[in-house]
Amino acid sequence: MPERTPSAYLEALRPVVTKAVGILARRYGYTSALGTDDRGISFAATPGETRTGEPIWVQRGFVFRAQHEGKVAEYACAKLPSEEPGALAEAVAAELDPLFASGKGTLTYPPIPDEPASKRFVGSLKIDPFTADPEAVLSRLSALRDTLIDGKVVVMAQARADFVDVSRIFVSPHRDLGQSFAWSQAYLFGVARKGHDSRMSYRSVSGRNGLEVLDELEGKMPDLREELASLLSAEKIEPGEYEVILDPDVAGTLAHEAFGHGVETDMFFRKRAKAVEYLGKRVGSDLVTMYDGADGVDHTGSFLFDDEGNSGTKTKVIDRGILLGGISDTLSALALGIPLTGNGRREAFSHKAYARMTNTYFAPGESRYADMVASVKKGWLLTKLESGMEDPRNWGIQLVCMVGKEIVDGKFTGKVASPVICSGYVPDVLSAIDMVSGDFWLAGSGACGKGHKELVKVSSGGPYVKTRMRLG
């Protein structure tokens, strides 16, 4: 498969930035620069319209970070103020010096580590979307949309696809890093209608791949049509506590919300996470092992190094029910005296780096999915996640699923509920997990915010998980 081409723009400026960082390091001590040049293209086939555009992930710019007498300051720019190293260093210093002198942000940190590293990662694609004929891509999405609509049950549909080419460089006195790779996501949405009742569902695909995601999306269309028809007879669920089987997407979101945000260690530092009180303690059953990391799996949250120049890792957050630790950005790790996990991420070069998730997932178990269904006395299979949220301070969690399929005495009854709101107290939900399947897959066709902002690309997933939750 053809390899990606690193950004010519960044590679041309790398020597200039490297020399400027060297000059600044003599002035401040630790100094680094992150360069970003992420391009992208979006395609959409909606009712009465096809269009192309740029996704929200497109960016180009630099951020310089320096540490002086323990304090840390940053300067971001969409374009270098000079392409002569000495002049560039002076221009950056002119922005940083007032920040150090102002007394704002008086926190001081131990020295930022800068172990020697020189690494490159270049990904590859099977089918390059950036060289494809846009009209051909739009035609393919339109055909997928038109095929889903039958005029009887499915009355509206739309298809979308986003492709992003990521290029980053990171330089410091002892580090010279580069990465270039692409990721994609594609969706097919449908609306079914019967009288005044309308129901919506979707299929999505994603990964570090190219235009080939449309092949996978096309294969999901018949199942989506069947599901939309079944939703027209969906009922409201009777509120109560039930046995539930969560599909890998929903289970992954449980992991993401319950012990993803809850173990972002900048939240530990701000005393906004209850998880800090449970380090080394039991938070789930023996079947619960959970990871987060840019290394170890290959999906939309994967990378060689984070936005602070730290290598991506695979962090075991929970080991057989015991909470081991969290995921860190550089400054929270230094402040708390904990390991760096390579989770310092920025929405864009002009944003702060925070402790953020990458790929978050439960480890697979040994149960078979069929045996999990057979074990349910009265409960539900929950699929098609719509949204999820968690309160890191109090450990309440809520998931909203579009599809619930009733199980009674180990068999599906054919009854469907939609939507299904699932809630619980995180340790109770995780402690009630009594079966975990051997399946494993990840989904990354969305974005994760910190609160209501600071979007980054992530994936989540794992196996099917059986537990108990309150439904309504």
Q: Is the predicted pLDDT of residue 392 greater than 70, yes or no? A: no
The 10 Å CB-count burial string (b at 16+, else e) for 407-425 is beeeeeeebbbbbbbbebe
For the entire predicted model, the pTM comes to 0.95
Q: Are strands 448-450 and 453-456 parallel, antiparallel or unpaired?
A: antiparallel
Question: Does a cis peptide bond (omega within 30 degrees of 0) precede residue 419?
Answer: yes
Start-end ranges of CATH 3.30.2290.10 in the chain? 8-231
Q: Is the predicted pLDDT of residue 12 greater than 90, yes or no? A: yes
Looking at residue 278, its pLDDT comes to: 86
- Cβ contacts of 102 within 8 Å, gap of 6 or more: none
Task: Give, for 189, the enclosing helix (H) or strand (E).
Answer: strand 175-194
Looking at residue 26, its pLDDT comes to: 97
User: What type of residue is 239?
Assistant: P
Query: How large is the average pLDDT for residues 180-196?
Result: 95
pLDDT per residue as tens digits for the range 117-160: 999 999 999 999 999 999 999 999 999 999 999 888 999 999 99
d(CA 34, CA 236): 51
Query: How large is the average pLDDT for residues 108-125?
Result: 96
Looking at residue 104, its pLDDT comes to: 66
Strands (E), 324-395: 344-345, 354-355, 359-362, 378-390
Q: Is the predicted pLDDT of residue 321 greater than 80, yes or no? A: yes
Q: Is the predicted pLDDT of residue 38 greater than 80, yes or no? A: yes
Give me the percent of the chain exceeding a pLDDT of 90: 85
User: Model confidence at 268, in pLDDT bands (50, 70, 90)?
Assistant: confident
Looking at residue 451, its pLDDT comes to: 72
At the fourth CATH level, which superfamily is domain 8-231?
A: PmbA/TldD superfamily (3.30.2290.10)
pLDDT per residue as tens digits for the range 402-414: 999 999 999 999 9
Higher per-residue pLDDT: 441 or 447: 441
Average pLDDT along the chain = 94
Query: How large is the average pLDDT for residues 280-300?
Result: 96
